[in-house]
């Protein structure tokens, strides 16, 4: 079957625009409306869709293309239907109008991640229309609530209907975009993400009039404890993902830069390697993927200038390298702050995870990419933030972030910097690119 890719691009753009026009800003989400829109499309492809969720307005949609006599574990194509909110005043086009102009689709979710919903569905549609028979089940799921932590989406589904998502492998948002390294295009496949440990620190002390202060108060205790936490140097923590990434990226450099980049893997030289990264944003990103981070995000206590408060509170957002647990992070913070009389408790935690960069699916992604662009390099990367993938990783699903997006012509910054930003948009060329790669991947990985 000869595929007319321009036509595929037009249809994918229309599909994405229609999804953008259904406002699923979370909160409140209201993903059920988007599920209702997708249901007949799923049904026409024979995916037998089901809509499920903890509340009528918070639904996710799951469909399945069944293999006759399956050989191999199912592949899950995952995306989320909710978006972060958008303030129309900051945008040059209305964020929920789904305008298609100048070869681009505009609106909230165009990159995070209704584009993923659109290209996954488009690729599977092409697979069905081309008459391919799957040798393994292909599950297509578009879910609720990712932007608020996924408890009403993938988290809820795993608790209540895991059989519907149970797969050996998964493709999700979180990676697939390209960056330029020494003139070559490197596609970053997300193979892991950091865990989360949100901590509340509480200090107590005598309250009273501030004209006759005691030497120690809740405030002085908390400040001393926070200073100790902030001064505590987080050691280098390497993962296989980062080792492979640094090695692959460094191999593109000349001899001096190559040695400098590899220095990031040495506890003695990492500071030197990080200082060589010119952009502060990239430097912070590099630092975050090789360390646990502890960030002070809140301070509360005292509302009268002349009264000493009896209790003050701080919150810490700690992000934890895979292999290191949130409990270990909590213990580390506790050990530092308890001598100051400060107590710790967790607000929320999630464990990070890491997937092998040599699994059957990862290899198929690499082969697919090279078949398209022989010069392109596939490299694994660790995400400092989190996606719904973490729920599935805990269940043993090998989920990779790979929604292909090329750097746009004339674009200097990697495309992921536009996620959650104003004027979010994606080019139709990139939708074609994504659908094309995912279609080829489905044929390679799933066709009989
Ligand atoms: Zn997302």
pLDDT, tens digit (0-9, with 9 covering 90-100), for 333-349: 999 999 999 999 999 99
Q: How far is the CA of 250 from the centre of ligand 1 (A)?
A: 29
- For residue 360, tell me if it sits in a domain: no
Q: How many CB atoms lie within 10 A of CB 299?
A: 15
Q: How far is the CA of 230 from the centre of ligand 1 (A)?
A: 30
Q: Provide mean pLDDT across the span 372-393.
A: 91
Going by pLDDT thresholds of 50, 70 and 90, the confidence category of residue 7 is: very high
Q: Are residues 227 and 328 in the same domain?
A: yes
How many domains, in total, are found in the chain? 2
pLDDT of residue 415: 75
Q: How far is the CA of 417 from the centre of ligand 1 (A)?
A: 13
Q: Provide mean pLDDT across the span 70-75.
A: 96
Q: Are residues 215 and 111 in the same domain?
A: no
Query: Which among 282, 45, 81, 278 has a CA at the least distance from the CA of 173?
Result: 81
Q: How far is the CA of 269 from the centre of ligand 1 (A)?
A: 34
- For residue 144, tell me if it sits in a domain: yes
Least confident range from 144-158, 279-293, 306-320: namely: 279-293
Going by pLDDT thresholds of 50, 70 and 90, the confidence category of residue 365 is: very high
Q: Are strands 293-300 and 425-427 parallel, antiparallel or unpaired?
A: unpaired
Give the ipTM: 0.94
Q: Provide mean pLDDT across the span 167-192.
A: 91
Going by pLDDT thresholds of 50, 70 and 90, the confidence category of residue 110 is: very high
Q: How far is the CA of 34 from the centre of ligand 1 (A)?
A: 16
pLDDT of residue 301: 94
Q: Are residues 255 and 401 in the same domain?
A: no
Q: Are residues 176 and 201 in the same domain?
A: no
Q: Provide mean pLDDT across the span 15-28.
A: 98
Q: How far is the CA of 207 from the centre of ligand 1 (A)?
A: 45
- For residue 363, tell me if it sits in a domain: no
- For residue 355, tell me if it sits in a domain: no
Q: How far is the CA of 163 from the centre of ligand 1 (A)?
A: 23
- For residue 372, tell me if it sits in a domain: no
Q: What is the pLDDT of residues 136-153, one digit of tens each?
A: 999 999 999 999 989 999
Q: How far is the CA of 387 from the centre of ligand 1 (A)?
A: 7
Q: Are residues 153 and 20 in the same domain?
A: yes
Q: Are residues 237 and 109 in the same domain?
A: no
Q: How far is the CA of 390 from the centre of ligand 1 (A)?
A: 13
Any bridge partners for residue 402, and if so which? Answer: none
Q: Are residues 211 and 141 in the same domain?
A: no
pLDDT of residue 183: 80
Least confident range from 16-20, 77-81, 125-129, 385-389: namely: 385-389
Which among 350, 366, 389 is the end of a domain? Answer: 350
Q: Are residues 34 and 128 in the same domain?
A: yes
Q: How far is the CA of 115 from the centre of ligand 1 (A)?
A: 10
pLDDT of residue 370: 95
Q: How far is the CA of 109 from the centre of ligand 1 (A)?
A: 8
Q: How far is the CA of 232 from the centre of ligand 1 (A)?
A: 32
Q: How far is the CA of 368 from the centre of ligand 1 (A)?
A: 24
Q: Provide mean pLDDT across the span 429-438.
A: 97
Q: How far is the CA of 176 from the centre of ligand 1 (A)?
A: 13
Angle at 117 between CA 353 and CA 162, to 5 degrees: 50
How far are the Cα atoms of 86, 94, 100, 111, 438 from residue 89, in angstroms, in the given order? 9, 8, 19, 20, 35
pLDDT at 23 exceeding the cut of 90? yes
- For residue 408, tell me if it sits in a domain: yes
Q: How far is the CA of 325 from the centre of ligand 1 (A)?
A: 24
pLDDT of residue 426: 95
pLDDT at 128 exceeding the cut of 90? yes
Q: Are 20 and 109 in contact (CB under 8 A)?
A: yes
Q: How far is the CA of 251 from the centre of ligand 1 (A)?
A: 31
- Over the chain, what HEC string results? CCCCHHHHHHHHHHHHHHHHHCCCECCCCCHHHHHHHHHHHHHHCCCCCEEEEEECCEEEEEEEECCCCCCCCCEEEEEECCECCCCHHHCCCCCCCCCEECCEEECCCCCCCHHHHHHHHHHHHHHHHCCCCECCCEEEEEECCHHHCCCCCHHHHHHHHHHHHCCCEEEECCCCEEEEECCEEEEEEEEEECEEEEEEEEEECCCEECCCCCCCCHHHHHHHHHHHHHHCCCCCCCCHHHHHHHHHHHCCCCHHHHHHHHHHHCCCCHHHHHHCCCCHHHHHHHHHHCCCEEEEEEEECCCCCCEECCEEEEEEEEEECCCCCHHHHHHHHHHHHHHHCEEEEEEEEECCEECCCCCHHHHHHHHHHHHHCCCCEEEEEEECCCCCHHHHHHCCCEEEECCCECCCCCCCCCHHHHCCCCCCEEEHHHHHHHHHHHHHHHHHHHEC
- For residue 375, tell me if it sits in a domain: no
Going by pLDDT thresholds of 50, 70 and 90, the confidence category of residue 262 is: confident
Ligand 1 ion: residues within 5 Å (CB): 112-113, 173
CATH of the domain at 199: 3.30.70.360
Which among 350, 370, 396 is the end of a domain? Answer: 350
Q: Provide mean pLDDT across the span 63-91.
A: 97
pLDDT of residue 98: 98
Q: Are residues 45 and 152 in the same domain?
A: yes
Q: How far is the CA of 82 from the centre of ligand 1 (A)?
A: 8
Q: What are phi and psi of 72, to 5 degrees?
A: 115, 160
Q: How far is the CA of 33 from the centre of ligand 1 (A)?
A: 18
pLDDT of residue 425: 95
Rounded Cα distance between 233 and 223, Å, is 18
Q: Are residues 126 and 250 in the same domain?
A: no
- For residue 368, tell me if it sits in a domain: no
Q: How far is the CA of 180 from the centre of ligand 1 (A)?
A: 23
Q: How far is the CA of 419 from the centre of ligand 1 (A)?
A: 8
Q: Are residues 34 and 177 in the same domain?
A: yes
pLDDT at 182 exceeding the cut of 80? no
pLDDT of residue 74: 98
Mean pLDDT estimate for the chain: 94
Rounded Cα distance between 266 and 245, Å, is 15
Range of the domain at 414: 5-182+380-446
Q: What is the pLDDT of residues 384-433, one digit of tens each?
A: 888 999 999 989 999 999 999 998 767 767 777 778 889 999 999 999 99
Q: How far is the CA of 113 from the centre of ligand 1 (A)?
A: 5
pLDDT of residue 4: 97
pLDDT of residue 176: 95
Q: Are residues 212 and 172 in the same domain?
A: no
Q: How far is the CA of 403 from the centre of ligand 1 (A)?
A: 11
């Amino acid at each position: 079957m000869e595929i007319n890719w321009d036509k595929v691009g037009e249809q994918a753009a229309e599909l994405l625009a229609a999804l953008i026009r259904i406002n699923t800003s979370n909160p409140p989400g209201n993903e059920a409306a988007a599920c209702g829109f997708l249901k007949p499309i799923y049904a026409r492809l024979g995916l037998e869709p089901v809509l499920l969720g903890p509340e009528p307005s918070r639904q996710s949609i799951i469909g399945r293309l069944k293999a006759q006599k399956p050989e191999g574990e199912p592949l899950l194509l995952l995306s989320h239907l909710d978006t972060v909110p958008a303030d129309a005043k900051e945008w040059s086009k209305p964020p929920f109008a789904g305008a298609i102009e100048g070869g681009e689709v505009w609106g909230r979710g165009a990159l995070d991640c209704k584009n993923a919903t659109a290209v996954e569905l488009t690729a599977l549609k092409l697979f069905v229309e081309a008459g391919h028979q799957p040798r393994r089940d292909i599950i297509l799921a578009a879910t609720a609530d990712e932007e608020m932590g996924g408890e009403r989406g993938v988290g809820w589904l795993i608790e209540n209907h895991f059989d519907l998502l149970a797969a050996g492998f998964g493709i999700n948002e979180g990676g697939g975009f390209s960056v330029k390294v020494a003139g070559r295009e490197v596609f970053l496949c997300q193979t892991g993400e950091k865990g989360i440990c949100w901590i509340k620190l509480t200090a107590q002390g005598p309250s009273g009039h501030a004209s006759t202060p005691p030497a120690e108060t809740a405030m002085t205790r908390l400040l001393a404890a926070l200073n100790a936490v902030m001064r505590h140097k987080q050691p280098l923590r390497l993962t296989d993902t980062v080792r492979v990434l640094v090695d692959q990226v460094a191999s593109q450099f000349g001899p001096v830069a190559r040695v400098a980049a590899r220095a990031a893997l040495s506890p003695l030289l990492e500071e030197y390697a990080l200082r060589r990264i010119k952009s502060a944003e990239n430097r912070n990103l590099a630092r975050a993927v090789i360390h646990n981070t502890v960030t002070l995000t809140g301070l509360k206590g005292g509302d009268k200038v002349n009264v000493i408060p009896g209790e003050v509170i701080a919150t810490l957002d700690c992000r934890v390298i895979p292999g290191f647990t949130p409990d270990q992070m909590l213990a580390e913070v506790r050990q530092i702050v308890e001598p100051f009389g400060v107590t710790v408790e967790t607000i929320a935690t999630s464990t990070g995870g890491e997937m092998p960069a040599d699994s059957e699916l990862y290899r198929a992604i690499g082969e697919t990419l090279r078949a398209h662009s022989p010069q392109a390099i596939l490299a694994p990367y660790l995400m400092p933030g989190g996606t719904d993938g973490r729920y599935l990783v805990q269940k043993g699903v090998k989920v990779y972030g790979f929604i292909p997006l090329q750097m746009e012509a004339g674009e200097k910054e990697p495309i992921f910097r536009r996620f959650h930003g104003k004027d979010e948009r994606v080019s139709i060329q990139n939708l074609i690119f994504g659908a094309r790669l995912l279609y080829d991947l489905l044929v390679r990985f799933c066709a009989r």
